[in-house]
Amino acid sequence: MRREHATPREGWEKIIEGQGLAFHRSVQATHLPRPYWDESVHYVFTMEQVLDLEAQVEELHRMCLAVVEHVIAERRFADFALPEWTWQEITHSWERRDPHVYGRFDLRYDGVSPPKLLEYNADTPTSLLESSVVQWYWLQDRFPGDDQWNSIHERLIDRWRELVLPTGPTHFAWTNMDETGEEAMTVAYLQETADQAGLKTVAIAMEDIGWDPLNRRFVDTGGRVLRSAFKLYPWEWMLADRFGEHAVRHAASTTWIEPLWKALLSNKALLALLWELYPGHPNLLPAYLDGPRELTSYIVKPLLGREGASMQIVSPDHQARTEGSYGAEGFVYQGFEALPSFEGQRPVLGAWMVADESAGLGIRETAGLITDDTSSFVPHRIEL
């Protein structure tokens, strides 16, 4: 694994915008010191490295599913700060095997040591279009003789085809709170993959979803019933919303993707439960819910934090804190290992899962110790 430089394609901004990556301009105009999409650099992997990463990511996913099974069997929902009225419905969602589509593992990896799990974005991961489409066309334009860890698009289409969903259109929902357009872009891309799979789809804002109290079901602005819906809207927000209880207690009326049981995997309490069930595993960092225990270098993460906000690094060698309002539900204390530095930049590998299979890689990098919404996306290739 190495970081290389390359000349950006002429007119690259229009190229990526034509591929759907439109929000980069609004983000760039606000706070990024470098382009969000930065093709002046990229990372190079060997095929052996990628095959090893694929196998280890799929093992991590299996371990995460085992944690869900454990939490449900042992009734450990309180560790995740989930309201008690959701516990039984989460159990039912898991027992029904409510369908899931995708997720993203964030990994620390230096190309030499085993990758370490930083967190699992299992409910509402973004940077999908960049990973699936935009970097693939960059590869074709710049290094057509090389390969890329990237079967995301094809696997998403296959996954939509596999799902057995209720009759009627599948609604794809974003939120009007999205100020940059990133979430709307991600939802539009996922809707496109569903369209290509042959599903009938409808776009809708979360704020436009209505509740029919007489028939106890969700409806769109045209009065159509939401029998199945993809939402880029986290479960913890839904559970705090006024209509969230309807979504949980009347789950039979709407198939939500991602499903309710993913509320366990998108919560950073998962990290502590993984370490408890698989202590010393080479792909894990020690993590605890009740404090740092024996750790002298650790990072404090809110159970329901997003975009690197409300975190604190405590270490003899490093001190850092990010702003944010998360943490009311509690924190996890995870062993801290600084991200590897490549020419002063620190990459986080985002390894994508589609259903239960590894599907591809996206890389975000920053000069800081914590990857947040100021980090740039850079492409990668496999040298053949």
pLDDT one-digit tens code per residue, 271-284: 999 999 999 999 99
- pLDDT at res. 29: 46
What is the average pLDDT value for the chain, to the nearest integer? Answer: 93
Q: What is the pLDDT of residues 162-211, one digit of tens each?
A: 999 999 999 999 998 877 788 899 999 999 999 999 999 999 999 999 99
Plot region of 338 (φ>0 → left; ψ -120 to 50 → alpha; else → beta): beta
**Crossing angle, helix 182-196 and helix 152-162, to 10 degrees?**
60
Q: What is the pLDDT of residues 247-264, one digit of tens each?
A: 998 877 899 999 999 999
- What does DSSP assign to residue 162? H
Nearest to 272 by CA among 188, 351, 335: 335
- What does DSSP assign to residue 349? E
Question: CA 126, 154, 61: angle at the middle one, nearest 5?
Answer: 60
* DSSP E strand stretches across the chain: 2-5, 41-45, 102-108, 116-121, 170-174, 201-205, 210-212, 217-219, 228-231, 255-257, 287-288, 298-302, 312-314, 319-321, 331-335, 346-354, 357-366, 376-378, 380-382
Q: How far apart are CA 150 and CA 201, in angstroms?
A: 25
Q: How far apart are CA 63 and CA 108, in angstroms?
A: 18
- pLDDT at res. 30: 57
Structure tokens at 209: 């979803």
Q: What is the pLDDT of residues 342-377, one digit of tens each?
A: 999 999 999 999 999 999 999 999 988 887 777 899
- pLDDT at res. 322: 82
Query: Would you place residue 111 in the very low, low, confident or very high pLDDT band (cuts 50, 70, 90)?
Result: very high
With a pLDDT cut of 90, the percent of the chain lying above it is 82
* 3-state SS assignment for residue 277: helix
Q: Is residue 128 pLDDT above 80, yes or no? A: yes
Query: CB-based contacts of 7: which residues, under 8 Å, 6+ apart?
Result: 40
**Crossing angle, helix 47-74 and helix 269-277, to 10 degrees?**
90
